[in-house]
Amino acid sequence: MSTSASFAPTRWRQATILGVVRQTPHVLSFFLQDGTSGADLAGQHLDIRLTAPDGYQAERSYSIASAPGDPLVELVVERVDDGEVSAWFHEVAQPGDSLEVRGPIGGHFIWRSSDTGPLLLLAGGSGIAPLMSMLRERRASGSHVPTLLLYSVRTRDDVIFRDELLRMEAADENLTVRFTLTRDDPFRQSDVPHRLDAPSVRQALADWAEEAQHVFVCGSNRFVEAVTQHLLAAGLPASIIRTERFGGSN
């Protein structure tokens, strides 16, 4: 991505919505064209700013789900009760509409294809977005680093990117995907029919039989706090765990 003045991450610029895809009953993907090539690094986010006719402005940050270098920037937007920006995306936004964006932003919660050592990803709900960028970057770069994704959602219909994740796993012997369904029966024998508690995290790590070198956890405040404690209890060092969180609960 160019870092010239016109696309500097801290400057607001116009972006155009080119496509909208429904992922789940409550989640949409928006594909933006803003003159950049998406994220510089997998795990970064964009700031979004909307301005009403009366001048009122609302801002929100959304993780980038597309891989670095993709021609369009994919944002995953979950419909949030009383959410000003998410309501606009779900109820108003259409292909061809414009909005202001700033970024990509972020230098802590990132993964590079040059990073060696097993990769452990844990997502709650729409927290899959930045981890999907990492998985797509891993695939695009031809990385074979052993990777485990533990993805917690309420029901099978709430699994964002379900088909793509299943195809990724089927095509890559070094990638393991496990879904945790908190309010539904698992649709695969390998999945977990309850929350990611301490025993299930320990069991997943034991089944994976790799020593994680890079750990990324993304989801609601409650999800991130609980899962991080489970990882520490399982013996993973705090120094390798990076977290990204948002309000609410999964």
Per-residue confidence (pLDDT) for residue 4, from 0 to 100: 36
Residue 106 three-state SS: coil
Report which of 239, 241, 219 is spatially closest to residue 231, judged by C-alpha positions: 241
Residue 213: burial class (beta carbons within 10 Å; 0-12, 13-18, 19+): middle
Are the C-beta atoms of residues 130 and 109 closer than 8 Å to each other?
yes
Backbone angles phi, psi at 20, to 5 degrees: -135, 130
Do you find a cis peptide bond into 104, omega within 30 degrees of 0?
A: yes
Domains detected in the chain: 5-105 (2.40.30.10), 119-246 (3.40.50.80)
Per-residue confidence (pLDDT) for residue 184, from 0 to 100: 87
pTM as predicted: 0.92
In angstroms, rounded to a whole number, what is the distance separating the alpha carbons of residues 210 and 21? 35
Residue 95 three-state SS: coil
Per-residue confidence (pLDDT) for residue 47, from 0 to 100: 95
Positions in the chain short of pLDDT 50: 1-7, 248-250
Residue located via tokens 């964009």: 46
